[in-house]
């Protein structure tokens, strides 16, 4: 396991606060209130370990397939439905949404290899990630990827807590499946809009792993 580069500053700040709080606690509380000092140490240590854990990148054997759409994020499948995309395609698509809790790995990966046709950041609200309108009204970053088997749209969507979306892709770029697409801090969701006729391989409430779980298979 390694730590994601997006976490360096946050972990540094957390380590600094952990050190300052516990040095002051040792100086002013340890003699007269040792239990309080110990409790403070335990609580701040757990918070520091949570921050480190949030930015973890576990080593995995990634799934690869030209027709396969690989899950771009860890989490749970919360939506599988037919929708009309108003942003890019202007037609019907199959939406598959993955909810990411604060305990999940938060690096996002390219679900397919291909060319980036579109990459656009949208300002918006911070509705809870499972709200039906979060897909179109929340802060988000949308990317369209195309290969020989189809064109898909991936949305990184901010939630009530997640207020920083990082995206690494730009239009015209060639990307490989499972390479890093971006990162969302402190939980949210990722939507995929797939062509009608795509065979969805997951079920509602299924727990999925980014870079490993096959979400769907494109038709040639």
- Specify which residues 166 forms β-bridges with: 183
Tokens of residue 108, six digits:
């996002």
Strand, coil or helix: 58:
coil
Residue 118 DSSP SS3: strand
How many residues are recorded in the chain? 220
Residue in 97, 119, 188, 220 annotated catalytic: 188
Q: How far apart are the C-alpha atoms of 79 and 215, rounded to whole Å? A: 12
Q: What tokens were used for 48?
A: 């520091």
186: closest CA among 156, 155, 161, 167? 161
188 is an active site residue: yes
Q: DSSP of 91-103, one letter per residue?
A: SEEEEEEEEE-TT
3-state SS assignment for residue 67: coil
Active site members: 188
């Amino acid at each position: 396991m390694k730590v994601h580069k997006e976490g360096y500053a946050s972990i540094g700040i957390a380590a600094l606060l952990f050190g300052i709080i516990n040095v002051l606690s040792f100086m002013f509380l340890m003699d007269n209130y040792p239990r309080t000092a110990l409790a403070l140490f335990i609580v701040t240590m757990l918070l520091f370990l949570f921050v480190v854990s949030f930015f973890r990148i576990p080593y995995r054997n990634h799934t690869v397939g030209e027709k396969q759409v690989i899950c771009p994020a860890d989490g749970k499948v919360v939506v599988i439905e037919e929708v009309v995309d108003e942003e890019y395609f202007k037609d019907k698509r199959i939406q598959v949404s993955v909810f990411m809790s604060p305990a999940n790995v938060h690096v996002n990966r390219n679900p397919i290899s291909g060319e980036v046709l579109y990459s656009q950041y949208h300002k918006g609200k911070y509705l809870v990630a499972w709200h039906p309108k979060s897909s179109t009204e929340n802060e988000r970053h949308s990317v369209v990827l195309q290969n020989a088997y189809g064109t898909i749209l991936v949305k990184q969507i901010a939630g009530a807590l997640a207020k920083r979306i990082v995206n690494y892709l730009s239009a015209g770029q060639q990307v490989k499946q499972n390479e890093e697409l971006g990162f969302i801090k402190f939980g949210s969701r990722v939507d995929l809009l797939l062509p009608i006729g795509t065979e969805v391989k997951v079920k509602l409430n299924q727990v999925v792993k980014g870079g490993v779980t096959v979400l769907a298979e494109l038709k040639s």
